[in-house]
Amino acid sequence: MSGEPSELAPEAPPAPWLPYGRQCLDEDDVQAVVEVLRSDWLTTGPQVEAFEAEFAARVGAGEAVAVSSGTAALHSAMNALAVGPGDEVIVTPMTFAASANCILYQGARPVFADVDPDTLLIDPEAVERLVTPRTRAIVAVDYAGQPCDYAALRAIAERKGVALVADACHSLGGHREGRPVGSLADVSVFSLHPVKPVTSGEGGVVTTDDPELAARLRRFRNHGITTDHRERIASGSWAYEMVELGYNYRLTDIQCALGRSQLRKLDRFTVRRRAIAARYDSAFASVAGVSPLSAVPGAGHAWHLYVVRVAGDRDRWFRALRSRGIGVNVHYLPVYLHPYYRARLGLEPGLCPVAEAAYRDILSLPLFPAMTDEDVTAVVEAVTDTAREAG
């Protein structure tokens, strides 16, 4: 679930304007980038390896491979798993289009499984009903930052002999079943977009415990070539071999330095996100017409998004809140309802009725670590007032 457009204010926004998400940078981040700009290596240098090692350690994975975006991470994962023409991959519709686009990139077909009505996470029972001999993988999206039911999904994957992929672009810093996100599936995919838990500007990471799969990921991000520029300098050789068709999906040392600095702040960011979510939970418990999504007991929600269902005309709520400077958004139109999917795959409304019903009612409220208590109060007051007017 990656590559989402940045949240921008309207041309003439009210003041102050609170977007639904925003990066949180400080002088440490700036200095980390400046140091790389003054170094010998701007790309394929030592910051990349250092970031990968630190990221893998942070999420409890054997390997981490940094790439240029969350979308590149999804595409790289599909390629590494040898997804190709004739294959099917099961995915949720309640996600950004990249979660399914990566399947199309490989010439395979996305098959959409409906979601749980309380959490909007992919429904394992719906997944199991859709597995066929052509199924190659399951892509589970940690919607809004809440990890999926990976125990149930892994049981299905193992029973059916398919790969399990965690689209964890929302959930870095979360955990489930006593394990951190990034270690819950065969392959986990992260986004480092500015609204995500930590940022490198743009960027993505793939984690896995499989060294062979990690090697395929590294080749794919570097045109399918077996060595990068720094490795050739170290070996004293100019020679390289392209052994497969890859892409330039490399992440620069500049971005990796920023990612390393941000990663050190992840715990603090997560604590703040959870505190804001707790305030919203408490405030909206008594507001008629506003229903937050359910949180799974014992699961470590990362709270990338705070999503509520609203009663009545959702678009009227959207306009009313934005007129007060509250940058609400909608996550998401079910992927298969986008015009391209309807034209390309012949898909129609009614495929995933739970996701479609949720889409008509949901709004994402502002939630990011740099929000002040006063910002949170402003959101609560605006939502409460809008609910009163709607009632």
Residues marked as catalytic? 196
> What b/e sequence results for 306-321 when a residue is b if at least 16 CB atoms lie within 10 Å of its CB, and e otherwise?
bbbbbeeebeebbebb
Asked if residue 162 lies in contact with residue 82, where contact means CB atoms within 8 angstroms, the answer is no
SS (H, E, C) 280-342: HHHHHCCCCCEEECCCCCCCECCCCCEEEEECCCHHHHHHHHHHCCECCECCCCCHHHCHHHH
CA dist., res. 89 & res. 104, Å (int): 10
CA dist., res. 174 & res. 71, Å (int): 20
Which residues make Cβ contacts (< 8 Å) with residue 362, sequence separation at least 6? Answer: 120, 307, 308, 309, 310, 314, 330, 331
Nearest to 145 by CA among 267, 301, 21: 301
User: DSSP string spanning 188-206?
Assistant: EEEE--TTSSS--SS-EEE
Peptide bond into 16 cis (omega under 30): yes
Question: What phi and psi, each to the nearest 5 degrees, are found at residue 167?
Answer: -85, 95
User: Any bridge partners for residue 306, and if so which?
Assistant: 365
CA dist., res. 334 & res. 308, Å (int): 17
Report the amino acid identity of residue 369: P
Nearest to 151 by CA among 111, 180, 124, 122: 124
Report the sign of the C-alpha dihedral through residues 85, 87, 92, 93, in that order.
positive
Nearest to 147 by CA among 301, 290, 277: 301
